[in-house]
Amino acid sequence: MMIIGLTGGIASGKSTVSNMIKEVGIPVVDADIIAREVVQKGEEAYEKIVDHFGTEILSDDESIDRPKLGAIVFNNEEKRLSLNGIVHPAIRKKMLTEIKQYKQVGNKIVVLDIPLLFESKLTYMVDKIILVYVDQEIQKERLIKRDQFSDEEAKARIASQMPLVEKIELADEVIHNHGLKEETKQQLLKILNKWNCL
């Protein structure tokens, strides 16, 4: 089985590209979705997060208040790394289970959508890497627009990741996502075609 890593930065367009990948029938394992599943109430990581950050980060229904936790960790590197230390092992485990399931039912290709593929040193999990790239100005603009963040909030989130420009040389292929979504799709199809994935 061929495992393709799809990465980028916050709001660079990974979900946009991952939807296009699903449209051509290739399954996608999404680390952001799994990251939500493993912190549901009752999961091991949930308990650890509450122990570490206190009940102040819970909503009224006792689920994790994501905006609140985000405001803490994206303004404090040490706390962000503590959260990563709690959540990432559970994410990795679940990603491996999902890959195995896709393999068992006969899939020859699977894409792993992992925003922190390089930062978390997870490149060993994948055979090839596609980077979804935009310049920092567009990244910030789209992030502010999508999540209604202030300029400061958007900057803090972008600064918590490896600069996208440094990821270019670490990837096998780069999709430039500055233009129309159709142009992004054409770049993707060209790469998938080159790798005999279509």
Ligand X SMILES: Nc1ncnc2c1ncn2[C@@H]1O[C@H](COP(=O)(O)OP(=O)(O)OP(=O)(O)O)[C@@H](O)[C@H]1O
Ligand Y SMILES: CC(C)(COP(=O)(O)OP(=O)(O)OC[C@H]1O[C@@H](n2cnc3c(N)ncnc32)[C@H](O)[C@@H]1O)[C@@H](O)C(=O)NCCC(=O)NCCS
Contact call for residue 115 and ligand X (CB under 6 A): yes
Using CB under 6 A, pick the residue from 4, 5, 13, 161 that binds ligand X: 13
Across the beta sheet with 128-133, the strand order is 28-30, 109-113, 2-7, 128-133, 173-176
Is there binding between residue 115 and ligand Y (CB under 6 A)? Answer: yes
Name the percent of the chain in helix, strand, coil, to the closest 5. Answer: 55, 15, 30
Given the rule CB under 6 A, which of 76-84, 164-172, 180-188, 190-198 is the region that contacts ligand Y? 76-84
- 112 and 5 in contact (C-beta within 8 Å)? yes
CB-closest chain residue to ligand X: 15
> Tokens for 141?
């603009």
Binding residue per annotation — 120?
no
Contacts of 52 (CB under 8 A, 6+ apart): 82, 83, 86
Residue with Cβ nearer ligand X (66 or 146)? 146
Binding window for ligand X (CB under 6 A); candidates: 6-14, 58-66, 83-91, 123-131: 6-14
Q: Is 160 in the site for ligand X (CB under 6 A)?
A: no
Decide if residue 146 touches ligand X (CB under 6 A).
yes
- Strands (E) across the chain are located at 2-7, 28-30, 109-113, 128-133, 173-176
Binding site for ligand X (CB under 6 A): 8, 10-16, 32, 115, 142, 146, 177, 181, 184
